[in-house]
Amino acid sequence: MVDIVSSEAGIPRPDHPLHNSGSAKWFLPAFGVLVLVGVVYVGYALSQDLAEAKTVPWILLGIALLIALGFEFVNGFHDTANAVATVIYTRSMPAEFAVMWSGAFNFLGVLTSSGAVAFGILSLLPVELILQVGSSSGFAMVFALLVAAILWNLGTWFLGLPASSSHTMVGSIIGVGLANQFMAPAGSATSGVDWSQATNVGITLLVSPIIGFFAAAILLYAMKLLVRNPALYEAPKGNTPPPWWIRGLLIFTCTGVSFAHGSNDGQKGMGLIMLILIGVVPTAFALNRTPDINYLEAYKSASVSVEQALGKYVKPGVTVTDAKAAVQDAVRTRTWSDQTTVALQTYIHDTTAGLQPYATVDNVPTDLVSNARNDIYLIGEALKLIDKKKLLPMEAADLKAVTDYHKAVDNATKFIPIWVKVAVALALGLGTMVGWKRIVVTVGEKIGKSHLTYGQGAAAELVAMVTIGMADRLGLPVSTTHVLSSGVAGTMAANGSGLQWSTVRNLLLAWVLTLPCSITLAFVLFIIFRQVF
C-alpha cells in the first residue's frame, strides 16, 4: 500500500492520515462542557423521578446503571470508528476532529431515536423474566446480558476486529433465554427464546452486510458512469485534502452514518436501562408518567373497545378459572384457543377496573404500580398473538380496536425518559473519543490492498447511512460495523483494488463467532449470577 503504513510502535508517520494535527483542540473543551451539562441534567432528572420511589437500593442501582452505560461506552469506541475511517483516510477531516464530530452526531442520533429498536431487541427475552425483572432471576438476566456483551466487545476491539455490538447483544439475549430454560425445574412452564423474533433479527443481521457489499460496489460502478471526474477515483496525494465538493460529500455521509448509528445502536442500551429501572425502582418507572393528563383515560377507553371486540369471538359455554394464568400460558406457548379469548377479555376487564378510580398515573398508589405494569405488559404480549401472529382471525374494525389498544399498552409500558437518552448519548459520545484508532486502522488500511479513494469512501458511507436509517425506521437492529466494513470491501472489489484476504477472513471469523461466543458467555454468566443474586 502507498502512504498508509504505520510504524511498528503504533505511532503514525507525519504524513499518515492518523497524524495528530491538533486542528480540533477547541472542540474537546466544548464537548467537555456539553458532557458536564448532560451529567448535571441526568442527575437532576433521575433525582426527580426517584422522588416517586418509596425506597431506593442506591448501590444496586448505581452498579447496574454504570455497567449498562459501560456497554454503550464500549459500543461507542468500538462501532463508531467505522463511521470515521473513510473521512480520515481520504483526508477529508483531521483524525481528532473527525472522531469528535462523529461523537457529537452519535449524541444527536440517540436523543432523537424512537425506541422501536430498543423494545424490538427486548422482545427476544422470555416474557416471565421481563415480568420478574425485579427478582433474582431478573437481575441475573440484566447483568449476564451486559457483562457478556462488554467482554466480547472488548476482546474483539483489542484484536482490532470490527465485530458487531448488535450481534453481541442478540447473542447475549439468546444465551440468557436458553439458560433460563435450562435451569427451569422439570415440568415448569418456562419459556426460552422467541425463535420467530430471533429469526427475523438474525436474518436482518445476516443480510445487511451482504447488502452493504453489493450495494456499495454497484453504487461505485454507477458513480463512475455518471460522474466522470478522475479526482473522485484517485487516492489522496500527501496531506492535501480533496476538492471541496468531494470533501462535503464525504463529511455528509460520515455525519449520516454517525447519526444513524446513534439512533439505532444507542437504543440497545436504552432498553436495558429501562429494564434495570423497572426492576430496581418499580414504583418510579413501572408505568409511563407522561405529562399528558388524558393518557390514562385514553387507555381506559381503548380497553373498553377491545373488550367489546373480543366479546364477539367468545364462544358460548367457554369459561376459565384463572384468566391471568391462561393468558400467560398462551404467551409462553404462542398458541390460541377458545379459552384464551375468554381469558384475555376477562383479564383486560379486571386490569382496567383496578385502574378505573384513578385519573392519572400519578394518582395510582405506589403499591399497585408494579403489578399494574406487569398486567398491562402481559396483555400487550398477548395482543401480539392477534395483530402480529394473526392467531385469532378478526374483522377489520375489531382488529383496529386491538391495534389501537396495543398502542395504548405500549405507551404505558414501553417508554424511555429523556434523561435515559441523554445518559446513553453521553456514554456513546464519550466512547467515540476513546480507543477508536484500532478499528479505524483495520477499516482504512487492512481491508483493501490499495489506499481508499474518495469515491470508495463516499459509496461505502452512503450505503451504510441509508441501510442503517431504514432499519431504524423499521425497528430492526443492524450492525454498523458489518454494513460499513462490507461496503468498503465491496468498493475495493468493484474497483479492482484487491482485498487483503487475511483481514477478510478475520472479519468473517468474528462475524461467525460472535453469536455462539456471546450466547455461551451469557449462558454461563446467567447461571453464575443466579447463584449470586
pLDDT, residue 291, reads 60
pLDDT, residue 32, reads 79
What is the arithmetic mean of pLDDT over 406-413? 84
pLDDT, residue 459, reads 86
**Hey, what's the cell of 516?**
455462539
Q: Is 471 left (phi over 0), alpha (psi -120 to 50) or beta?
A: alpha
pLDDT for residue 338 is more than 90: yes
CA dist 158 to 39, 408, 471, 476, 480, Å?
A: 29, 45, 28, 28, 18
Contact predicate 162/439, CB 8 Å: yes
pLDDT, residue 16, reads 63
Most confident of 191-205, 240-254, 377-391, 516-530: 516-530
pLDDT, residue 528, reads 94
What is the arithmetic mean of pLDDT over 188-212? 69
What is the arithmetic mean of pLDDT over 107-114? 83
Distance CA 349, CA 327 (A): 13
Residue 510: pLDDT band with limits 50, 70, 90: confident
**Hey, what's the cell of 151?**
467482554
**435-456 confidence digits (pLDDT tens):** 667 667 766 666 766 667 788 8
**133-171 confidence digits (pLDDT tens):** 777 778 888 889 889 988 988 888 777 666 777 778 888
What is the arithmetic mean of pLDDT over 67-93? 79
Local structure of 347: helix, strand or coil? helix
Distance CA 231, CA 214 (A): 23
Q: pTM, whole model, 2 decimals?
A: 0.79
Better-scored residue on pLDDT, 86 or 161? 86
**Nearest alpha-carbon partner for 83 in 484, 456, 511, 508:** 484
Instruction: Tell me how far the alpha carbon of residue 145 is from its chain's centroid.
Output: 13
Task: Tell me the CA end-to-end span of the chain in Å, nearest whole number.
Answer: 54
**212-248 confidence digits (pLDDT tens):** 889 999 998 888 888 887 777 777 776 777 778 878 8
3-state percent helix, strand, coil for the chain, nearest multiple of 5 = 70, 0, 25
What is the arithmetic mean of pLDDT over 179-203? 67
pLDDT, residue 189, reads 42
> Average pLDDT over the chain, rounded to whole?
80
What is the arithmetic mean of pLDDT over 61-76? 86
pLDDT, residue 326, reads 92
What is the arithmetic mean of pLDDT over 34-41? 88
Q: What is the largest CA-CA distance in the chain?
A: 84
What is the arithmetic mean of pLDDT over 308-327? 91
